[in-house]
Structure formats: structure tokens, C-alpha cells
Chains A and B, each alone.
Chain A
Amino acid sequence: MDLREDTSGDVTILEIKGRIDSTTAPVLGERLTASLTTPQRRLVLDLRQLEYISSAGFRVLLLAARRAEEAGARFVLCSVTGKVRHLFDLGGFLDLFLISGSREEAITAVH
């Protein structure tokens, strides 16, 4: 898994490339925790280049969403397409997260 961070104004964009499984999920979890502890923090998670996400990855996303809510931060996913979208649907996660079609829409939605 590769993580790439960009910013757009006050929004942090984290692009994930590759696989989120039980080996890589802890690394992502730490990064998200660090990003979502500050109140008013706005984070977009771009999943356009994500190839695979297992139950370990979904758990990390659920924990991140809870942490964001507790800290008063905003957290939006974007570009959830193809087989990764099927996995979100399969696990019942499509309605649990705020998901935008593109990075631009996500930046608008996170405000």
C-alpha cells in the first residue's frame, strides 16, 4: 500500500494505492488517527487506485469515522468504483460513509 498526501486549501487529501489488508491496515489506521485528532480537520480519502480492501481495512475505516465524529473533524471518501465499490456494497458500508464520486466533489462535500 502506498499513501500520498495532498492539500487543497484547508482540506487534506490522502490517496491510497494498492491493497488494504491485515498487514497494511495498521499503517493506515495510524495515519488516519493522526489526521483526525484535530477539531475542524477536513480529510478526503481518495480510493481511486485502491485494488483490494479486506475486513481489516473496513475496520480501520469504521474506527476512523468514529474518531472523526468524536473529534469534530470531517471525513469523506471518494472515487469508490468497480470491484472495490462491490466490496463496500457486500459488507454493507456504502451507506455508512459519506462517499463522493470525485475528488472535487469530495472537497466540496467535506466543508
Chain B
Amino acid sequence: MKRPLNIVYGVEDVPPLGVTLFSGVQHVVLIAIRLLFPLLVAREAGLAPERILDVLGVSMLIMGLGPVLQAMTRGPVGSGYLCPTSFTSAYIAPSLLAAKTGGMALVVGMTLFGGVLEAALSRALRPLRPFFPPEIAGFVVVVVGVTLGSLGTRYVLGVGTPTGLNRHDLTVTAVSLGTMIILNVWTKGSLRVFCALIGMVVGYVAAALAGILTVADLSPVKAAPLLHFPRLGHGGWSFDLGLAIPFGVAALAACLRAMGDITTCQKINDAEWTRPRIRSISGGVLANGLATATAGICGTIGVNTLTSSVGLAGATGVTSRRIAYVIGGMFVVLAFLPKAAALVAIMPRPVLGATLWFSACFVFVNGLQIVTSRMLDVRRTFVIGLGFTIGLAVDLHPSLYSTLPGAVQPFASSSLVLGTISALVLNALFRLGVRRTQTLLIDPARRDTSAIGDFMELQGAAWGARRDVIDRATFNLSQSIETIVDSCEPEGSIEVEASFDEFNLNLRVSYAGPPLELPDKRPSNEDIMASEAGQRRLAGFMLRRYADRVQSRYRAGRSTILFHFDH
């Protein structure tokens, strides 16, 4: 793992206390905004104000538990990264449905079901990997980036509010977002690290000066008690089979989003990142599932990794997992201080919009980079393109989807859910007919070098392989064919067989003729220059070094070389 230049404190680093605390505060503010979700569900369930305070207190404890579980590095739980969690839009639609039909007991019962399902899914990610390829995890991150950006736009433009679009909101957004961007792009050190928090504070001040944040808006802060001990007890759990589908879909969406977020964490922490590391991802998804199950047990709604927080960590260059423990501690304290939560909950719309826009930029670009880390043929292009188009239509034409039958509506509850399901179904569909093993016959007399390159390009894209692995395999194929033709006088065609699964790329080159020399040691420069035999030894040495494993066999006048590449 090599630390990228823009990362100031990497995942293993221990930042100074000041940096740790202020970074923690930045994340806490971003995470706590989502307290609106359990508040919304608790109101929908008709809870009394005292019980709502309990739900919010428990919700803050869960928001503290999530990042701690994610940061764990020992045992099966945890991704090992600073990957904060918060309440998610994926669970909000089914939770509101459950609140309407069965009150808070049904909400927490179904949340527990969703969490257990996600935890179970985390154990099957390895065999399911062909069905959840990295480009779909990247696709999920892109959709979340678009969703965050779109949500930010709603807040900035005042969509659905009595005031609508007005110059005060736009001014406050410009001041808040401008502060974040200027500090992020043109400063270094503490100012860059705390750019989001400073931008938010500047936004609050600008909102107060513009008359958007008034004394009346502060009344929830005044009204909240100074100290409140949240009660974990609630009205029990209930279960409704009819809600298993929407909660199951929410768990799947949460799983895929967590996969995307953890992949992003891996990528922003490693300049040499090449592929998602499955152990870290499955540990992270398990942590996510356990946090949601605990939320259900303790009396609130489901959580998910928070993409905007991952984006914030990347943007500020502070990704130390220590921050996760600090976030956990801060939420434990805040759970007993309702005034602080109320202060976050009254964040002015334009400031919230600016913060979402700021994070969405990093989320969106990271998602694109994950999608394009794989070679994409037309099938995969359709998976991503159609998935995106179908998913985005939920936001563009919401009225169209509201007319769907009730049983189908959970699948179209958000662009993330519908887009993800569409991409998964299309991916499974387009896997049909893709052969995992392909053969190419090469006529030594023709020396068609472009055929080798075309063959590997075509197969790499059909398999969704990594570009760097296909480049290495293409070199080994070209160099071995060249050397065989030049020095082994093969009789008849040279047969190439390429086979692929998500973890391995194997090339088998066989021909009638003597075997190639594949030395462990590089020939000297004098050897290479002295004769073509030295040049052949150099070829053999490079072939051996470029593959992860090489085997050579010679039997009954026929030679076979096996090149294995880890994927």
C-alpha cells in the first residue's frame, strides 16, 4: 500500500490531537444531519415527544457505533477504514411504510431483519463476486454521488419550499461552498484539513446575517433539555412478511453501497490500488449489517456507510482510523446532550446544500474511477449505461413510478435501489454466453501480431478484467509467440488458450517443438548483446518475471507453457 500525495494522515497514521478532534467534529456534523431520518420515522409512527427524544438519543449511539465497527481490524467484523455510517435513504422509504402500518415496533422489527440479512450477505460476497463486480460497486458510488449532488441542488434552490429560489439562499451557498473550495484548493495544512467545517461555520454566520437563520429557528435548541438519558426500551418488535421485500431490497442496496464506499476507502488510501480487497469489504458489510441489526434491537432505523463522509475524508486528506473512534466517543457524549443535536438539525438549507455539493464531487469522481478500473465491452457498457438511465428516471419522472402496483413500488423507491437492481439483473443476464475459456490458433508463418493484441483486448473487455493484468498477459503472449517462432521452429499452429475467473487469468501456449528456456536469473548485458541466444534468455527471464506463476512442460515432442496471473 502506497500513500497518495494528497493524503496528509493515512489510515494507519496517528494525527495530532487537535487534528483528530477537529476532523471528528467535521464528520460528526456531516453524519448528524441524517438525524432527520429517524426523526421523520418516529413522527410518522406517532411517538410522543419524550419517546422521540429517546429515539434520537439511541440514533446517536448507533451513529457512534457504526464507525467504530467499521474501523476494526481484528476478527471478521470491520473494513479497517475510516468509513463512518449514518441513517440512509435506502431504509427510509420502507421504514416510513412500516411506521404507517405497524408503528415503531414494526419499524424496528423489520430493521433487525434487514441488518441480519445484510450480515448474512457479507459472508457470501466471495462466491457472489461475479454478480457484484467492481464496476457495479463503482456504479453505485456514482449514483450516490449524483443523488447527493441532486439533493444538494434541491436544498440550494429551495425546491418544495414556500420561499423557493431566492438570492439570499444562493449567496449563503456561494459563501459556504466558496470557502470550502478555496481552502481545499489553495491552502495547505489545517485550513485544508478543516475546510468543510470552516465552510459550514461561515455558512451559519452568513445565514444569520442574511436573515435565513433567525432567533425563532433556534427555538428547538432552546427547548431541548440540557441533559437527557436515552432509554433503550421500546414497544417490542413485530414482523410483516409483506415488508420483507422492501427491507430485503434496502439491505441489498446498503450492502452494495457499503461495497462501493469501502472500495473507495481502499482506493483513496493507496496510490497503487488495483482491485477491491474482498476481506476488508466483507468485514465492512458485516459491520454495516451488525450496526443496522443493533439499531433495530435498540429502537431506531437502519444505517449505511456514509458516502459523503468518505468523500470528506478523501477531500481533506485525513483518513486515519483513529478518527472513527473519536467520532464514536463524540456521539456517545452527544447522545446525552440533545441541544447539540438540535443545533445540527437546524442547519440552514443552503449550508446543507453547499456541504452536499462539496462531498458529491469527490464521491462522483471516485465512483467513475472505480467503474473504469475494469475493461468494459458492449455488454458491460449496457449494464452501466442502462442501469444509470433506468435508475435516474426515478428522480427525473417520479410520477411515472408512483403509478406502479404496490408490490413493485419498493423496487423503485429511489434511483439508487432501482438503478442497482437494474444493473445487477443486466449483469447476470449479460453473463450468459460469455465463455470463460477461449482459444486462438496462430499460424507461425503469418506472424500476425495484431491478432494476439485483438484477442486479449476482446476477451479482457468481455470478462471485465483489469487493464494492467491484460497488458501483462498480452506482453507474455506476444513475447512467447515471437520467441517460439524465431527459435523453436514449431510444426503446425501454435495453440493459445486463455481462461478467466474473477481471481485468475491463465494462458496456455502449446506447440510442437522444443521448450523455451525460462531462466530465473537475468542474462548479463554482454550475453544479451553477444548473440541471439542471450536475447532469447532475456525473453525467457522477462516472461517468467511478468507472470505471477509460470510452468513449462515438454512431452512427446510438444511443449506447453502455462502463465498464471493473479486477478
Query: A21: which of B472, B478, B536 is its contact (CB, 8 Å)?
Result: B478
Is there an interface contact between B538 and A55, defined as CB atoms closer than 8 Å? Answer: yes
Residues of A close to B471: CB separation below 8 A: 83, 86
Is there an interface contact between A54 and B539, defined as CB atoms closer than 8 Å? Answer: yes
Query: A19: which of B449, B472, B535 is its contact (CB, 8 Å)?
Result: B449
Q: Could you mark each residue 530-543 of chain B with 1 if its beta carbon is under 8 Å from any beta carbon of chain A, else 0? A: 00001110110110
**Does B558 touch A at the CB level, under 8 Å?**
no
Residues of B close to A90: CB separation below 8 A: 542, 545-546
Instruction: Tally the A-B contacts, defined by beta carbons under 8 Å.
Output: 53
- B177 CB to closest chain A CB, in angstroms? 36
Most buried by B among A23, A52, A66: A52
- A44 CB to closest chain B CB, in angstroms? 22
Residues of A close to B542: CB separation below 8 A: 55, 87, 90-91
Residues of B close to A19: CB separation below 8 A: 449
Residues of B close to A58: CB separation below 8 A: 528, 535, 538
Which of B1-9, B69-77, B91-99, B479-487 is found at the contact surface with chain A? B479-487
Q: How large is the interface on B (under 10, 10 to 19, 20 to 34, 35 or more residues)?
A: 20 to 34
- B472 CB to closest chain A CB, in angstroms? 8
Is there an interface contact between A62 and B482, defined as CB atoms closer than 8 Å? Answer: no
CB contact under 8 A between A83 and B475, given known A19-B449, A90-B545: yes
**Does A22 touch B at the CB level, under 8 Å?**
yes
Query: A62: which of B486, B529, B545 is its contact (CB, 8 Å)?
Result: B529
Bound CA span A56–B537, Å: 11
Is there an interface contact between A92 and B522, defined as CB atoms closer than 8 Å? Answer: yes
**Does A63 touch B at the CB level, under 8 Å?**
yes
CB contact under 8 A between A23 and B447, given known A62-B525, A62-B528, A90-B546: yes
Is there an interface contact between A59 and B528, defined as CB atoms closer than 8 Å? Answer: yes
Q: How large is the interface on A (under 10, 10 to 19, 20 to 34, 35 or more residues)?
A: 20 to 34
CB contact under 8 A between A56 and B475, given known A19-B449, A62-B529: no
Main secondary structure, interface of A, reads helix
Is there an interface contact between A59 and B535, defined as CB atoms closer than 8 Å? Answer: yes
- A64 CB to closest chain B CB, in angstroms? 10
CB contact under 8 A between A96 and B525, given known A55-B479, A83-B475: yes
Interface residues of A in 55-111 (CB under 8 A from B): 55-56, 58-59, 62-63, 66, 83, 86-87, 90-92, 96
- B466 CB to closest chain A CB, in angstroms? 13
Q: Of all chain B residues, which has the CB nearest A18?
A: B449
Is there an interface contact between B546 and A55, defined as CB atoms closer than 8 Å? Answer: no
Is there an interface contact between A21 and B522, defined as CB atoms closer than 8 Å? Answer: no
Is there an interface contact between A52 and B478, defined as CB atoms closer than 8 Å? Answer: yes
Bound CA span A57–B351, Å: 60
Bound CA span A63–B527, Å: 11
Is there an interface contact between B525 and A56, defined as CB atoms closer than 8 Å? Answer: no
Residues of A close to B479: CB separation below 8 A: 54-55
Interface residues of B in 355-374 (CB under 8 A from A): none
The list of the 4 closest CB pairs from A to B, nearest first, reads A55-B539, A55-B538, A59-B535, A83-B471
What are some 13 contacts across the A-B interface (CB < 8 A)?
Answer: A22-B482, A22-B486, A54-B482, A55-B483, A55-B535, A55-B542, A56-B535, A58-B535, A59-B529, A59-B535, A91-B538, A91-B542, A92-B522
The residues of A with any CB-CB pair to B shorter than 8 Å are: 19, 21-23, 52, 54-56, 58-59, 62-63, 66, 83, 86-87, 90-92, 96
Additional A-B contact list (5), CB under 8 Å, known A56-B486, A91-B542: A21-B478, A54-B539, A59-B538, A66-B529, A90-B542
